[in-house]
């Protein structure tokens, strides 16, 4: 995911839910069931769904 976002020229913050207790709590509270979770604008995309990522990036640029 990092490589995909970097190729798109997008800045991102990586959070390790394995070592960051607060991030893990937020992950659980939001009901995420997989990683990675990529947030673009108001969209939260779980997993490696490139098509959804491309669509979210396009909408964020509008």
| Domains of the chain, start order | 2-60 (3.40.30.10)
Q: Kindly state the average pLDDT of the residues 20-24.
A: 92
Q: Kindly state the average pLDDT of the residues 31-60.
A: 90
Q: Taking Cα atoms as reference points, which of 21, 12, 17, 19 lies closest to residue 33?
A: 17
Residues 50, 54: Cα–Cα separation, whole Å: 6
Cβ(48)–Cβ(55) under 8 Å? no
Q: What is the pTM of this model?
A: 0.72
What is the per-residue pLDDT across 30-43, written as a single tens digit (0 to 9) for each? 888 888 899 888 88
């Amino acid at each position: 995911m990092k490589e995909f976002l970097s190729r798109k020229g997008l800045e991102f913050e990586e959070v390790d839910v394995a070592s960051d207790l607060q991030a893990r709590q937020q992950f659980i509270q939001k009901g995420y069931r997989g990683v990675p979770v990529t947030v673009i604008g108001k969209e939260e995309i779980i997993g490696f769904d490139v098509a959804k990522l491309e669509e979210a990036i396009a909408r964020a640029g509008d």
